[in-house]
Amino acid sequence: MPTTTGKKIAIVTGSALGLGYELASQLIANGWLVAGVDFNAERQAELTAQWPDDSYRAYVGDITDEAFVKESVADIATLGHIDLLINNAGQPSFKVPTAYEAADVDKCLQGLKGMILWTVETLKACGEQNVKIAQIMSTAATRGNANESVYCATKAALDHHARAVQEDATPGLRICALAPGVVDTPMQGEIRASTLERFPLRDRFAEMQASGGLIAPAECAMHLVDFLLDEDFGREPVADLRELMG
């Protein structure tokens, strides 16, 4: 459903850098108005200067701050019907099981809590009608990785949240938890620069990067947006981009 300017509206969390930035770029290129959410105020100011006001609106804050979420969604809804929500923001923590402390758990849970809050407020704002919701998850949701126990658990929760919401059978809602594959993001660079003790899969990812096995954020975003805008989006609650790409 278009805004008063004739554009559809998408909310993208974690829009300042990496995959989130590329998703925003792809949607804007497709004629959408993107409400980008990120805590990086400096980067948000750059994006506000990069794109016109009818293509990008920046919201700076913590995705787990309920008051911020409510205020932001209410403001976005004044622009028109919210057609798409992409929950992309999140932070990992890599440690052996006995090294985790409460702060580490909270860090990993931010993405999960934020995803739920933005989903709830978006559904309220659009009356649960004509809306698509994409939860960007990870292959960590479907397999256990060493030194990633808490991260894997929170990503698996994204998967099951989408499955459960689909069971509610809301007619105007399509939701899908999407695994994008191994994307060459700044986090990947951090992993390749780490020690084997801290990240046992380091060498595997280094080999993937050397052999061209990592997908560039821009390419990943292009395929994700193609799927998001396709009629088949949301028919299944969980999807793997690599399988969709054949």
Name the residue with higher pLDDT: 133 or 94.
Answer: 133
| Chain segment 177-228, per-residue pLDDT in tens | 988 876 666 666 666 666 666 666 666 666 666 565 677 888 889 989 999 9
pLDDT for 2 beyond 60: no
139 token code pair: 């292959």
> What burial class does residue 101 get, using C-beta atoms within 10 Å of its C-beta: 0-12 exposed, 13-18 middle, 19+ buried?
exposed
> In 174-190, which positions are buried (b, 16+ CB within 10 angstroms) versus exposed (e)?
bbbbbbbbbbbbeebee
What does pLDDT average to over the chain? 86
Q: Can you tell me the mean pLDDT for 78-97? A: 87
| pTM across the whole model | 0.88
Q: What is the structure's pLDDT at 213?
A: 61
| Chain segment 136-177, per-residue pLDDT in tens | 887 766 777 777 788 888 888 888 899 999 888 788 899 999
Q: What is the C-alpha to C-alpha distance for residues 168 and 102, in angstroms, rounded to an integer?
A: 33
pLDDT for 92 beyond 60: yes
Considering the chain, what percentage of its residues have pLDDT values greater than 70? 83
| Chain segment 15-38, per-residue pLDDT in tens | 999 899 999 999 999 999 999 999
Q: Are 39 and 60 in contact (CB under 8 A)?
A: yes
